[in-house]
Amino acid sequence: MLRIFRQIALWEAVSTICLFFFAMPMKYFFETPEAVRIAGSIHGFFVVIFVIMLIMCTVEYKWNWKRPLTYFVLSLIPIIGFWVELDVKKIINGQKK
């Protein structure tokens, strides 16, 4: 389950970057609002899956409240969201509990 959560965290962070740094400039500079609609829908899908997986991992691995709260808050910040994926990778590799 952690491996799936790690992939979802990565794709959620990538979709945030695409939305903010590609789709939004296309909307405002090239007058293509479809870019935001498409990228926003994809990003929204990954956010929902991220939250569901975060809850599932919290229950399954009996995480205290700090880790899921930290992961959720960090996932809201575009570039910092990649840290979640790296931190979960450390847990998978046994470098962190």
Residue-by-residue pLDDT tens, the chain, 97 positions = 999 999 999 999 999 999 999 999 999 999 999 999 999 999 999 999 999 999 999 999 999 999 999 999 988 887 888 999 999 999 999 887 7
91: Cα separation from own chain's centroid: 17
Q: Six-digit token pair at 25?
A: 């400039």
> Under the phi-then-psi rule, with left for phi > 0, alpha for psi from -120 to 50, and beta for the rest, what region is 64?
beta
- The answer to whether 75 and 13 are in contact (CB under 8 A) is yes
Compute the distance between CA of residue 91 and CA of residue 63 in angstroms, rounded to an integer. 12
Q: How many domains does the chain fold into?
A: 1
Judge whether 20 lies within some domain.
yes
Judge whether 97 lies within some domain.
no
Judge whether 66 lies within some domain.
yes
Judge whether 88 lies within some domain.
yes
Compute the distance between CA of residue 34 and CA of residue 86 in angstroms, rounded to an integer. 32
* Domain that includes residue 67, residue range: 2-92
Q: Report the SS3 class of residue 87.
A: helix
Judge whether 50 lies within some domain.
yes
Q: Six-digit token pair at 78?
A: 């575009």
Judge whether 29 lies within some domain.
yes
